[in-house]
A and B are shown apart, each in its own frame.
Chain A
Amino acid sequence: MGRYLLRRLLQLVPVFIGTTFLIYWLVWSVPGDPFAGKCGDRGCPENFRAVMTAKYHLDDSIWLQYASYMKNLFQGDFGITFGGREISDIILTSYPNTLKLAVVALAIEAAIGLGAGVLTGLRRNGFLDNLVLVSTLFLIALPVFVIGFVLQWLLGVNWHIVHPTVSSEMRITELLLPGFVLGSASTAYVARVARTSIAENRRADYVRTAIAKGLPMRRVVGVHLLRNSLIPVVTLLGTDLGALMGGAIITEGIFGINGIGRQVLRAIVTKESATVVGIVVVLVVVYLVMNLLVDLLYAALDPRIRYE
């Protein structure tokens, strides 16, 4: 187990270097002069461009730029944006917001998705089963921005149940609606995967044995059935955190949340490699760690799985 963990952690290093370079190179290859569009239709004065280009070493080759970026990164310096802001400051203020939103979404996803999946998996073809099937189909079919705008308009503007946008304090209660919107599609998938998995295992021998030896139904479902059916669901949920964080840009926009989405978008459009890489690097780490956690959870859920 220890060796497995170490090996997995060591694997992070080449992945980390590879992704950072790839992203740096991709942003660098975006055509256009970052300072050409900065002053509107008038265009920027030559001196402004010259000063900025020199300040950010944009005349250097991609290798030199990347090397000096990595050197600074390992000294804890994420660099500054073209507007003069510390990128570490952007990361520190926007990441917690996105993480909070993604965690709320994940919690909603797990609670609703798993609950609906278990209920429908046990009683297939009933009214509830059909209701869940139809409503999940609905959630999967509707794009996030439609669900977001409709719910914001109905609950926030028309009925005044919630505040239409999230305040800067980012209270959990305010995040319930955006969290649901962000996790809506995944909730539907979790429900469906859980349903199938439960329904399949419901017919398994060990469940029949458990029932036959007279265990109460609560224990049969809660311990035997659920635990064995969780592996695909955990995989889905675990990898989803990264996807939710990276994909939150639309939800963040609709509900006015100051998250990483807008920062990445702004940085890509303005060719600010350092910002894009800085933010994505953290996202990459989140993905890698979550993947590792999921793999470790497998062993906890199913004793047959062992890591050497």
Chain B
Amino acid sequence: MRVSKRASGALAVGAAFALVASGCSSGNDNGGDASASKDGAIVIDGTQPENPLVPANTTETGGGKIIDWMWTGLVEYPNNGGAPQNALAESIETSDSKVFKIKIKQNTKFHDGTTVKAESFVKAWNWAAYAPNGAQNASFFADIQGFSDLNPEDPDGDGPKKAPTPTVQEMSGLKVVDDWNFEVTLSAPTAVFPTKLGYSAFMPLPDAFFNMKPEEFGKKPIGNGPVKLVSWQDDVEIKLTRFDDYSLRDKMKIKDVTVKIYQDDTAAYADLVSGNLDFQQQVPVSSLAGDKWKTDLGDRAIASTTPSTGIIAFPIYDTRFQNPKLRKAISLSINRQEITDKIFFGNRKPADSWANPLTPGAEPGNCTACKFDATQAKQLLTEAGGFTGQLKMYYNADASHKEWMEAVAQQVKTNLGIDAVAVGVPTFAVFRANINAHKMDGAYRAGWQQDYPDVENWINPLYVKGGSSNDGLYSNDQVNALAKEASAAPSLEESHKKFADAVKLIDQDVPSMPIYFGGQQSGHSEKIKKMELTNVGELDITSVEL
């Protein structure tokens, strides 16, 4: 889950399915002009990366985009959202979903000219998993055997004692066979493991990384992707250029990409409309009202859907929220269609399933609690014995959540007759700190964008006991067991079937309320003749033609 740090952008982090050839117009077939493209340069919008650019330590979109462009992983996610395909991997073989034999393509290069070898992966993963390095994405490696040795338990939780320093620095589950082959052993069978390998946490690192401080490396990162870094001027711009020794599928069709760093998306939008910027991933909220952005941009406006969902979660650890009937009553009393139409001007879609339907393995329409049925809601509330006191619905007030959260609270109040109010928490940091500490005394806004395209990413972290984002502490033994079976299934098809069964149970329990599916509104300049968005809505810079 990457989070957008733009003040007004909020959950408008991106993603998209639409294959975009010159905006939305389909008849435009005069693609790109190869000779104009060859040395072409574009300027696109971005935000200042929060941290130095180290793949395993980047969880926000500003830096995440640059990393996605500068690196190519073992697998890649097709722009149309389909199943992952091998990129740097020649083959990934397994017989039991526990031991994976990974063979990489030979003689591909890092930007510093060194060769990408099997140990480039193994060393990078060990670095990320090693607790004292404190990598933000460390939990992605938890599947691998030996992860727990690198992450000893803190003896007294949050208490004064520090977790002991791990005695080993390498995960026992990673073995380099030779320069082009390595073997990964997981602690338990996990069918979805190869799918995860396209996420940025799993990128290889050159030897240079291990000879310097991560912060130094991150200011001048060396990747293995289609573009390399030219310069990074903080808060001003990041210049990228084509990596000429790149030998994999997605070569650049243009030469230079400048990422101009804006603090305000309306400034970027003014540049886009006046032709001084070639691509903006998310146009500002102010341009959405009355579809102004479509009038401004014409056929250069790109509307797309993103694999992200806006959710309101329940703190199940609070006794008042432990009755599933009550939770379902609240969920049924929300008219999601009205919210997306009136508050989001139709740019987001009402949620009707537990996993975002753009995700492989997800079933559309499987959230029966997402319907709007005020009569049934009232009846369920009576059966649950009503709700006493104020129903608080928290959101972080430093991003644009106020309007829709207030609309939801108002609907619950009107349709159920309980005293529901939307409460803003000043900053996301305070909001998250309370959620992490399990101190919420009301429902709260949450959001989820998939990290890798599989339904597993929508169930295990959110609705299974011990899941990394199961902040409401929801736990249903049957769901836990089914999810475990699903994760360990020998094939993805069987895994998806089992997850579908687990979702049916989750749908009965309503541990949270999916409200809307994300949408993205992008725009490009007249200069760009052809371009596509990636599966998460970022610009696929290798597809750009001028």
Contacts and interface: CB of A to CB of B under 8 A. Distances in A.
A36 B234 contact: no
Contact of A37 (B49, B138, B431): B431
B215 to A, nearest CB: 4
Given A43-B469, A157-B270, A269-B398, A37 B432 contact: yes
Given A36-B429, A42-B59, A84-B51, A89 B234 contact: yes
B266 A254 contact: yes
A252 B262 CA distance: 10
Given A43-B469, A84-B218, A258 B235 contact: yes
B235 A93 contact: yes
B234 A42 contact: no
A47 B138 contact: yes
B118 to A, nearest CB: 26
A48 B263 contact: no
B134 interface: yes
Nearest to B58: A39
A51 B134 contact: yes
A52 interface: yes
Interface stretch (B74-82, B93-101, B175-183, B271-279): B271-279
Nearest to A34: B429
A40 B235 contact: no
A247 interface: no
B59 to A, nearest CB: 4
B236 interface: yes
B41 interface: no
Q: Which of B50, B138, B151, B261 has the most CB of A within 10 A?
A: B50
Contacts of A60: none
B432 A43 contact: yes
Interface string A251-269: 0111110100011000001
A124 B194 CA distance: 81
Given A51-B134, A84-B215, A256 B51 contact: no
A39 B162 contact: no
A50 B237 contact: no
Interface in B210-237: 215, 218, 233-237
Contacts of A164: 267, 270-271, 274, 276
Interface stretch (A9-17, A148-156, A188-196, A298-306): A148-156
Contacts of A39: 1, 3, 59, 136
B433 A253 contact: no
A168 interface: yes
A278 B430 CA distance: 24
A36 B264 contact: no
B448 interface: yes
A255 B469 CA distance: 38
Interface in A21-65: 30-34, 36-52
A6 B537 CA distance: 61
B267 A254 contact: yes
B427 A42 contact: no
Most buried by B among A31, A37, A51, A94: A37
A93 B234 contact: yes
B92 interface: no
A263 B235 CA distance: 9
Contacts of A42: 1, 59, 461, 468-469
Contacts of B215: 84
Contacts of A48: 134-136, 138
Interface string A92-121: 011000000000000000000000000000
B427 A32 contact: yes
Interface in B230-284: 233-237, 260-264, 266-268, 270-271, 273-274, 276
Interface in B1-18: 1-3
A42 B451 CA distance: 11
Interface string A117-154: 00000000000000000000000000000000100110
A85 interface: yes
B145 to A, nearest CB: 19
Given A36-B436, A38-B136, A44-B136, A31 B264 contact: no
B131 interface: yes
Nearest to B57: A48
Nearest to B274: A157
A214 interface: no
Interface string B347-385: 000000000000000000000000000000000000000
Given A45-B139, A83-B51, A253 B264 contact: yes
Given A84-B52, A256-B262, A43 B234 contact: no
Contacts of A8: none
B270 A165 contact: yes
A271 interface: yes
A79 B310 CA distance: 38
B178 to A, nearest CB: 32
B446 interface: yes
A163 to B, nearest CB: 6
Given A36-B432, A164-B274, A41 B1 contact: yes
A33 B431 CA distance: 10
A30 B138 CA distance: 28
A90 interface: yes
A45 B136 CA distance: 6
A11 to B, nearest CB: 35
A36 B268 CA distance: 29
Interface of A: 30-34, 36-52, 82-85, 89-90, 93-94, 149, 152-153, 156-157, 160, 163-165, 168, 252-256, 258, 262-263, 269-271
Given A40-B1, A262-B263, A263-B235, 13 more contacts: A30-B427, A37-B433, A38-B59, A38-B136, A39-B136, A42-B461, A47-B134, A48-B136, A48-B138, A49-B134, A93-B235, A168-B233, A258-B263
9 contacts: A36-B429, A36-B432, A41-B432, A43-B436, A50-B163, A51-B134, A165-B276, A254-B266, A256-B260
